[in-house]
Amino acid sequence: MEVDRRVFIASLGGPAVVALMDHEAKAEALEHYMEEKLDEMVAAQQPEKFPTVAEIEAQIETRPYRRGAGTVFTGRGGENVKKLQPMPAKPTLNDFFELRFAPANHVLQSATRAMKTGMSEEIILACLLHDCVLSLIKPDHGWWGAQLFEPYIPEKSAFAIRYHQTLRFYPDEEAGYEYPDQYYRIFGHDYTPPQYIQDTYKMLKNHKWYMEPRLVTVNDLYAFDPNAKVSIEPFQDIIGRHFKQPKEGLGYDNSPSAHMWRTLARPDNPL
Amino acid sequence: MTTTRARFGLAVLAAVAASAAAAVAQDGKTQTVNGLQVGVTGVERAEKAGLKDCPPGTNTVNAVQRPGDELAVVTVSFKVLPDFKATPMKRPTVTAADGKTYNTSVQLVDVGSVPQYSCQFIYRVPQGTKLKSLQLDTATFDLAAIDK
pLDDT in tens, B102-145: 999 999 998 999 999 999 999 999 999 999 999 999 999 999 98
Q: How confident is the model at residue B23 (pLDDT cuts 50, 70, 90)?
A: very low
CA–CA gap between residue B18 and residue B5 (Å, rounded): 20
Q: How confident is the model at residue B3 (pLDDT cuts 50, 70, 90)?
A: very low
pLDDT given at position B29? 82
Give phi and psi for A138, each to the nearest 5.
-105, -45
pLDDT given at position B12? 42
Backbone φ/ψ region at A15: left (φ over 0), alpha (ψ -120 to 50), beta: alpha
Q: How confident is the model at residue B16 (pLDDT cuts 50, 70, 90)?
A: very low
pLDDT in tens, B74-105: 999 999 999 999 888 899 999 999 999 999 99
Contacts of B32 (CB under 8 A, 6+ apart): B38, B81, B139
Across the interface, of B48, B59, B91, the residue whose CB is closest to A225 is B59
Tell me the count of A-B CB pairs closer than 8 A.
Answer: 74
Higher pLDDT, residue A184 or A9: A184
CB contact under 8 A, B105 and A177: yes
Task: Please indicate if any CB of chain B lies within 8 Å of the CB of A105.
Answer: no
CA–CA gap between residue A9 and residue A18 (Å, rounded): 7
pLDDT given at position A23? 77
CB contact under 8 A, B122 and A181: no
Q: Which residues of B touch A (CB under 8 A)?
A: 47-48, 51-53, 57-64, 66, 88, 91, 102-107, 109-110, 122, 124
Higher pLDDT, residue A22 or A209: A209
pLDDT given at position B4? 42
**∠ CA B38-B44-B49, rounded to 5°:** 95
pLDDT given at position B17? 41
Average pLDDT (B6-25) is 41
| Most confident of the ranges A38-47, A162-171, A174-183 | A162-171
Q: Kindly tell me if the per-residue pLDDT of B11 is higher than 50.
A: no
Q: Kindly tell me if the per-residue pLDDT of B8 is higher than 50.
A: no
Q: How confident is the model at residue B54 (pLDDT cuts 50, 70, 90)?
A: very high
Average pLDDT (A209-214) is 98
Contacts of B86 (CB under 8 A, 6+ apart): B110, B111, B112
pLDDT given at position A187? 96
CB contact under 8 A, A221 and B51: yes
Share the mean pLDDT of chain A. 91
pLDDT given at position A152? 98
Q: How confident is the model at residue A178 (pLDDT cuts 50, 70, 90)?
A: very high
Nearest to A26 by CA among A41, A5, A53, A40: A5
Q: How confident is the model at residue A77 (pLDDT cuts 50, 70, 90)?
A: confident
pLDDT given at position B2? 40
pLDDT given at position A34? 74
Mutate to test the interface with A, among B48, B101, B107 (most CBs of A within 10 A): B107
Residues of chain A above pLDDT 70, percent: 92
Average pLDDT (A143-151) is 98
Nearest to A218 by CA among A159, A161, A166, A178: A178
> A33-71 burial string, b = 16+ CB within 10 Å, else e?
beeebeeeeeeeeeeeebbeeeebeeeeeeeeeeeeebb
pLDDT in tens, A188-199: 999 999 999 999
Q: Kindly tell me if the per-residue pLDDT of B21 is higher than 60.
A: no
Mutate to test the interface with A, among B100, B101, B105 (most CBs of A within 10 A): B105
